[in-house]
Structure 1
Amino acid sequence: MSLLLLAVLGCMTGVTTVLFGFGGGFVVVPLVYHLVMSSHAPGDAGYDNAMQIAVATSTAVMVVSAWVATVRQRRAGRLVGGYVWPLAGYIALGAVAGAILGSAMSSDAVRAGFIAYLALTIADCLFRKGFLHTSDPTARRLHGVPLKGIGIGVVAALLGVGGSVMTVPMLRRSGLSMAQASALANPLSLPVAMAGALMYGVMGQLQMPGMHSGFFGYIYLPALVLLSAGSLAGVLLALPLAGKIPDRLHARIYIALLAVVGLSLVVK
Structure 2
Amino acid sequence: MLTSILTLLLFGCLSGVTTVLFGFGGGFVTVPVVAAVTNRGDAMHVAVATSTAVMVVNAASATVVQARAGRLRRDYVWPLAAFVAIGAIAGSIAATYTGDGLLRILFVTYLAVTIVDSLARGGFLKPQGKPKPLSTFTTTAGGVGIGAVASFLGVGGSVMTVPLLRRKGLPMADAAAMANPLSVPVAVVATAVYATASGGPSGYLDPIAGVALLAGSLPTIALVRRVADRLPDKVHAVAYVGLLAAALIAVAVS
Aligned to 1:243: 229
Give the one of 166, 176, 187 matched to 1:172: 166
Deviation at 1:3, TM superposition (A): 1.4
Aligned to 2:10: 8
**Whole-angstrom CA distance in 2 between matches of 1:104 and 1:227:** 26
Q: TM-score, normalised by structure 2?
A: 0.96
Aligned to 1:184: 178
**Whole-angstrom CA distance in 1 between matches of 2:76 and 2:4:** 40
Give the one of 18, 32, 35 matched to 2:34: 32
Aligned to 1:63: 56
Q: 1:209-259 CA distances to partner (integer Å, 9 max, x unpaired)?
A: xx22xxx10000001111112110120121020222111111001001100
Show structure 1 runs of 5+ residues with no match: 40-45
**Whole-angstrom CA distance in 2 between matches of 1:182 and 1:112:** 26
**Whole-angstrom CA distance in 2 between matches of 1:115 and 1:141:** 28
Q: Sequence identity, in percent?
A: 50
Give the one of 197, 200, 218 matched to 2:204: 218
Deviation at 1:22, TM superposition (A): 0.7
Q: Secondary structure at the match of 1:183?
A: helix
Deviation at 1:143, TM superposition (A): 4.5
Q: Which amino acid aligns with 2:186?
A: V
**Whole-angstrom CA distance in 2 between matches of 1:222 and 1:142:** 42
Q: TM-score, normalised by structure 1?
A: 0.91
More displaced 10-residue stretch of structure 1: 230-239 or 51-60:
230-239
Aligned to 2:152: 158
Deviation at 1:137, TM superposition (A): 1.3
Q: 1:96-134 CA distances to partner (integer Å, 9 max, x unpaired)?
A: 111111100011111000000000000110111110110
Q: Which runs of 4+ in 1 moved over 6 A?
A: none
User: Any residues of structure 2 matched to 1:82-231 within 5 Å, and which?
Assistant: 82-144=75-137, 145-203=139-197, 207-208=198-199, 211-212=200-201, 216-231=202-217
How many matched pairs?
251
**Whole-angstrom CA distance in 2 between matches of 1:254 and 1:11:** 17
Deviation at 1:2, TM superposition (A): 2.2
**Whole-angstrom CA distance in 2 between matches of 1:90 and 1:192:** 10
